[in-house]
Amino acid sequence: MLFDVAILGYGPAGASLANLLGAYGLSVIVLEKDAEIYPMPRAIHFDGEVMRVFQTMGLRPAMETISRPGMKGMHFVNADNETLLIRGGTAALGPHGCANNHYFHQPELEQVLRQGVARFANVSVRLQHLVTEVHDRGDHVELDVTDLRQQQPVPVQARYVVGCDGARSLVRKVLNCTTRDLGLHQPWLVFDALLKPGAPTLPDHTVQLCDPSRPMTYCNVTGNRRRWEIMLMPGDDTHELVKPDKLWPLVKRWIEPQHADIERAVIYTFHSIIAQGWRKGRLLIAGDAAHQTPPFLGQGMCAAVRDVSNLAWKLQAMVQGRVDERLLDSYESERAPHVAEFIELAVRLGDIIQTTDPQAARLRDAKFRGGGEPEIFHFPAPRLGPGVLSSAPAPVGQPFPQPQLGNGQWLDERVGHHFVVIATPELMREVQATTLQAWDHWQVQTLDAHDPALAGWLAAHHASAVVLRPDRYVMGLAHSSGDLDTLTRECLPTLALPERCA
Instruction: Give the Cα separation of 364 and 347 in Å (integer).
Output: 16
Q: What is the pLDDT of residue 92?
A: 84
Q: What is the pLDDT of residue 369?
A: 87
Element (H, E) at 114: helix 106-117
Report angle CA 276, 490, 321 to the nearest 5 degrees: 70
Q: What is the pLDDT of residue 502?
A: 40
Q: What is the pLDDT of residue 501?
A: 52
Q: What is the dihedral sign for C-alpha 107, 113, 119, 125? A: negative
Whether the Cβ atoms of residue 204 and residue 221 lie closer than 8 Å to each other: no
Q: What is the pLDDT of residue 320?
A: 92
Per-residue pLDDT of the chain (502 residues; tens, 9 = 90+): 999 999 999 999 999 999 999 999 999 999 999 999 999 999 999 999 999 999 999 999 999 999 999 999 899 999 999 999 999 877 789 999 999 999 999 999 999 999 999 999 999 999 999 999 999 999 999 999 999 999 999 999 999 999 999 999 999 999 999 999 998 899 999 999 999 999 999 999 999 999 999 999 999 999 999 999 999 999 999 999 999 999 999 999 999 999 999 999 999 999 999 999 999 999 999 999 999 999 999 999 999 999 999 999 999 999 998 888 889 999 999 999 999 999 999 999 999 999 999 999 999 999 998 877 898 988 888 999 999 999 999 999 999 999 999 999 999 999 999 999 999 999 999 999 999 999 999 999 999 999 999 999 999 999 999 999 999 999 999 999 999 999 999 998 775 444 445 4
Q: What is the 3-state secondary structure (H, E, C) of 169-238?
A: CHHHHHHCCEEEEEEEEEEEEEEEEEECCCCCCCCCCEEEEECCCCCEEEEECCCCEEEEEEECCCCCCH
Task: Please list the residues that pair with 243 across neighbouring strands.
Answer: none
Q: What is the pLDDT of residue 34?
A: 98
Amino acid identity for residue 152 in this structure: Q
pTM of this structure: 0.96
